């Protein structure tokens, strides 16, 4: 692919020098490619998920299975984006007895970026196998570090009320 400054010279939205594997609360927004309405529709201020939206929801709920240091808080799957709060926590040593059954895949990476990447991969894989959509997501995602309780409350309310305020693209 030839060099394209519009693609290759993007500025990172990440905070310079910040450790995104650090315990804390993170508000993330992940948008569909071209803001396409892939996951359902808002009807009477309520999000109604289609099959793709139900899969996106199931993949979101599976995040702690693959990333046991991630705790999910409020989230919403919207027609063309996903909002969620993910808390990263310190992990104690596992006291579970050894088992002979294979454990589910668990990522060694502990960053918010690896969690979002894994989520996007899971949804994209399902979409490519079950629909004609190939490019599901916009490149990257938006995140905000939640620094205090007031910010957490405001963001939680925003997520919960998002279907009431959705006006399409």
Residue linked to tokens 């926590």: 89
HSE, CB side, 13 Å, CA atoms: give it for residue 116. 25
pLDDT value at residue 52? 98
pLDDT value at residue 94? 42
Given a cut of 90, is residue 103 above it in pLDDT?
no
User: Hey, what domains does the chain have and what are their CATH numbers?
Assistant: 21-90+106-165 (3.30.70.1290)
- Angle between helix axes 112-130 and 51-61 (nearest 10 degrees) is 150
Cα four-point dihedral sign 91, 97, 100, 101? negative
pTM comes to 0.82
Q: What are phi and psi of 97, to 5 degrees?
A: -70, 155
Confidence of residue 93 (pLDDT cuts 50, 70, 90): low
Mind listing the pLDDT tens digit for each residue in 68-92?
A: 999 999 999 999 999 999 999 987 6
């Amino acid at each position: 692919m030839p060099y394209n400054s519009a693609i290759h010279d993007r500025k990172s939205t990440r905070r310079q020098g910040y450790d995104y594997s650090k315990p804390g609360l993170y508000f993330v927004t992940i948008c569909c490619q071209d803001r396409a309405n892939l996951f359902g529709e808002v009807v009477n201020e309520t999000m109604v998920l289609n099959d793709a939206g139900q899969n996106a929801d199931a993949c979101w709920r599976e995040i702690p299975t693959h990333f046991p240091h991630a705790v999910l808080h409020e989230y919403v799957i919207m027609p063309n984006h996903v909002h969620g709060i993910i808390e990263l926590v310190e992990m104690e040593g596992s006291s579970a007895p050894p088992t002979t059954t294979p454990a589910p895949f668990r990522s060694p990476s502990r960053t918010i970026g690896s969690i979002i990447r894994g989520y996007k991969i899971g949804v994209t894989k399902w979409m490519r196998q079950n629909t004609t959509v190939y490019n599901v997501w916009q490149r990257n995602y938006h995140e905000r570090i939640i620094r205090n309780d007031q910010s957490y409350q405001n963001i939680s309310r925003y997520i919960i009320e998002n279907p009431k305020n959705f006006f399409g693209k």
